[in-house]
Amino acid sequence: MSKYSIKIDKFSKSFGEVKAVKDLSFEVNDGEVFAFLGTNGSGKTTTIRCLLKIYQADEGKLLINGKEYSEELNQIIGYLPEERGLYRDVSVIDILTYTARLRGIDSDDAMKRSLDYLDMVGLILHKDKQISQLSSGMQQKVQLGTALIHNPEILILDEPFKGLDPINRQLFVDILKEKGKKGATILYSTHVIDEAQKMADRLLIIKDGKRLEYGSVNEVRANHGSKSIFIEFSGKAPVEKNELYSAIITNKTAEIIPNKGITEEKILENLLKQEVKLVSFRLDYPSLNQVFVDIMK
C-alpha cells in the first residue's frame, strides 16, 4: 500500500450559509501526480487553502506527511496560488532570489537557481524587468518559479495553467512531468482536462463541494459508458450526430460515442458510407474530457 503525502478526511467548509465543501475525503500518494478537477466554485481552491491553513476547516482532518500544516513544512512544500501573488514593482530576478533566500538557500546558489530557471522558461532576457512589465503568461512563469526554486518534495498548484498559451502550457506540463519523474508529489487543480488525462496518475472530480469520481485516470474513464471510437481522417469530416452515434470533432480527429446497443462495426460501415477517409480507427474508454462534461451536465 502506498504511503500518502496528503490526506483529506471527512473535510467540510462553509462560508456563512453556503457549504463550499461537504464531507470530502481523498489521499494523494507519495510520488504521484494527482489532478483535482472541477468547475469554478466547485470547492477546489477552498480545499487547498484549508490544507495550507489559509482558511480554517469546519470539520475533518487535512494532513501533509501525517501532520497538519505548519511553517516548518514550508521547506518541503512549493505552493502556487490561483491568484497572482507577486510584488509588481520588483524585478523578476529579485523576486526569485528573494524567495530562494526565504527558503534558506545562500545568495550565490539563489542567484544560480534563479538564472537557470529563467533560462529554462525563456525569460532570461527579461530578468531585470519589473513584474508589472510582464504579460500574464510571463508572470505565471515567474510565480511557478517561486514554487519550484527550493526543489520541494510536495507541489501544491492551484490552476497552474491559468493565462498560458498552448506552447507555454506544454512547457509547464513538461516541467511538472519531469518533477514527477524525480519523485515529487504533485497535487494540482485545473480546468484543462485533456492535460490531466496525459499527465495525472490519479484524479478527483468534485462538483458543488462533493466528490463525484476518484481513482486512476483509466478507472474513472472506464466507469462512464462503453468504449468510444477515436478516428483520424482526411478530407470530409463525419457528421456530428446521427442515429448511431454522436461525435466530438477537432481538426482531423474525432471521438465518436456510440449510442446504446450500436457496435463499432456498424459505425465503421456508416463512416465509410459517408465517404470519410480513415487514417486510423481505435477503441478506447471515453476521454476524460467527455467524462467531465457528462458529469457536469
Report pLDDT digits (tens) over 18-43: 999 999 999 999 999 999 999 989 99
Q: What is the pLDDT of residue 2?
A: 52
Of 4, 51, 52, 9, the closest CA to residue 32 belongs to 4
pLDDT tens sequence for the chain (297 residues): 457 899 999 999 999 999 999 999 999 999 999 999 999 899 999 999 999 999 999 999 999 999 999 999 999 999 999 988 889 999 999 999 999 999 999 999 999 999 999 999 999 999 999 999 999 999 999 999 999 999 999 999 999 988 888 899 999 999 999 999 999 999 999 888 888 998 999 999 999 999 999 999 999 998 887 788 999 999 999 999 999 999 999 989 999 999 988 999 999 999 999 999 999 999 988 889 989 988 887
CB-CB neighbours of 228 under 10 Å: 23
Alpha helices in the chain (DSSP H): 44-51, 92-102, 107-120, 136-148, 166-181, 193-199, 217-222, 264-273, 288-296
Q: What is the DSSP letter of 248?
A: E
The residue assigned the cell 512563469 is 141
Of 168, 112, 138, the closest CA to residue 130 belongs to 138
Q: How many Cα atoms occupy the beta-carbon half-sphere of 297 within 13 Å?
A: 6
Residues counted in the chain = 297
Q: What is the pLDDT of residue 214?
A: 96
Q: What is the pLDDT of residue 198?
A: 87
Residues 184, 152 contacting (CB under 8 angstroms):
yes
Of 99, 189, 106, the closest CA to residue 146 belongs to 99
Q: Hey, what CATH topology would domain 4-222 get?
A: Rossmann fold (3.40.50)
Residues in a beta bridge with 189:
36, 158
Q: What is the pLDDT of residue 1?
A: 41
The residue assigned the cell 477552498 is 46
Question: What predicted TM-score, i.e. pTM, was given to this entire model?
Answer: 0.85
Residues of the chain with CATH 3.40.50.300: 4-222
Provide the Cα torsion 145, 43, 32, 76; round to 10°. 50
